[in-house]
Amino acid sequence: MTNKQTILVTGASGFIGGWIAEILHLSHSADVRAGIRNWSSGARLARFPIEIVLCDVMDKQSISRAMLGANCVVHSISGSSEAITQGTENVLEVAHAQKIGRLVHLSSTEVYGKVRGEINETSPFKSMRNEYADAKIKAEQLCWQYYRSGLPITVVRPSIVYGPFSASWTIALAQRLQSGNWGILKGYGEGICNLVYVADLVSGILLAARHEHAVGEAFNMVGPESMTWNQYFKKFNAALGLPELKVIDPADAKLRAAVTDPVRSLGKFVLKHFSAPLRTMSQRNRLARELLQYADRTLKTNPRTGDLSLYNREAVYLTTKARDILGYRPNFDVSRGLDLSVEWLRHAGLVEQLI
């Protein structure tokens, strides 16, 4: 491949897709085409003078137009399980038809399921009866089918990706820590938190997009440092300059998750079907507004049962293969990654505000 290829990034308005597009532009390493589902999600990318195109992965014509003339596709879709599976199948079909030179599919270490010990890329897929993880397994299986029919595919399996714009592991966790409701999860937070700072992951993805021996291979991508979830909470808490975390008793953590899980499901249902009347009500009635804000805060700052299971998982995802074949060398240790994340949180108004 030439150095100045045109790379289409699908899901470019998302956390990782956005970073890929931004880094490609800032490093001038390729002409980037940022594919987004609709214009409403274009604000972050439009800060850069890059080509932004509509690319709805549920619409093959839209994909086809977006992919035209691209040498490489980085498929970085998230969202519903249907978007992950059907969307991936659509992208693969169009890429195959257009004879794309390389397709990098962003999978996840979640495809390995609830595992223990050291996990390399030969470990089998295992369903956790989790919609997201199952969709990622199905999407990856589709990738390998298309690889066998001649599409040059590389799969990247990131773990816990944090950094600026990360909704789950940076923004939501910062909110939890700031709430004073979060703490050291005794009995639950001693699993391994396989962190990778987003810029390290993107560097790895770009290596995978270019390396000739990466075709037909999958690569785990994790950061340079191993720590437990409780250690991550402590470090993040310190980086935010917050008072020391309290210790949460295992029974308390389990109870909080058990109580809030059904409320969360109900809340999702209500929001999906009654968002307009709720908004009107909160504009008209202060008590309703405060109650809604309280419920939202409570749900966001308590662990889910699924979180507790993740925080307990004692799996280490090995990156030996990425290091040996691609020369993958993650640079950002957790302290540095967190410092940058906290600087970004302040800039984004998520830690400090004018009023």
Partner 1 sequence: MPRKSSISSQSIASTGRSPRIALIGCGAIAEGYYMPALARHRRILESMLLVDHNFSRARHLAARFRIKQCFADHRAVLDTVDGAIIALPTPLHHSISLEFLSRRIPVLCEKPLADSTAKALEMIELAHKMEVALAANYQQRLWPQFVKVKELILDRSLGEPVRIKYQAGDKFTWPTVSGFQFNSAGGRHGILLDRGAHVLDHICWWLGDKPKLIVSQNDSFGGIDAVAYARFEHNKCVGEVKLSWLSNYPGRFLVEFELGSIQGEIYYPQSVLLKMGAGPQKRVKLKTETYKTLGHRMVDNFIDVIVGRETPLVPATSVLDSIKLTDDCYAAATRFHMPWYSIFEAINDQ
Q: Using alpha carbons only, give the angle 67, 218, 20 rounded to the nearest 5 degrees.
A: 45
According to DSSP, the residues that pair with 8 across neighbouring strands are 33, 73
Give the tokens for residue 30. 């390729």
CB of residue 345 vs partner 1: minimum separation in angstroms?
9
CB of residue 221 vs partner 1: minimum separation in angstroms?
18
**CB-CB contact of 108 with 84 (8 Å):** no
Closer residue to partner 1 in complex, CB, 127/285: 285
Q: Residue 112, by phi and psi: left (phi above 0), alpha (psi -120 to 50) or beta?
A: alpha
Closer residue to partner 1 in complex, CB, 290/324: 290
Phi/psi for 125 (5° steps) reads -70, 145
Q: Which residues contact partner 1 (rule: CB under 8 A)?
A: 22-23, 25-28, 38-52, 54, 163-165, 171, 199, 280, 283-286, 289, 340-341, 343-344, 347-350, 353-355
CB of residue 339 vs partner 1: minimum separation in angstroms?
9
Q: Using alpha carbons only, give the angle 130, 132, 133 rounded to the nearest 5 degrees.
A: 65
Rounded to whole angstroms, the maximal C-alpha distance in the chain is 61
**CB-CB contact of 93 with 86 (8 Å):** no
For 244-279, letters b (16+ CB in 10 Å) and e give ebeebeeeebbebbeebbeebeeeeeeeeeeeeeee
Closer residue to partner 1 in complex, CB, 112/332: 332
CB of residue 289 vs partner 1: minimum separation in angstroms?
7
Closer residue to partner 1 in complex, CB, 248/334: 334
CB of residue 337 vs partner 1: minimum separation in angstroms?
10
Half-sphere exposure in the Cβ direction for 310 (13 Å, CA): 17
CB of residue 354 vs partner 1: minimum separation in angstroms?
4
CB of residue 122 vs partner 1: minimum separation in angstroms?
33
3 state DSSP class of 155: strand
- Of 108, 106, 90, nearest to 146 by C-alpha is 90
CB atoms within 10 A of CB 49: 6
Closer residue to partner 1 in complex, CB, 192/206: 206
Closer residue to partner 1 in complex, CB, 273/336: 336
Closer residue to partner 1 in complex, CB, 186/289: 289
CB of residue 284 vs partner 1: minimum separation in angstroms?
7
Closer residue to partner 1 in complex, CB, 161/310: 161
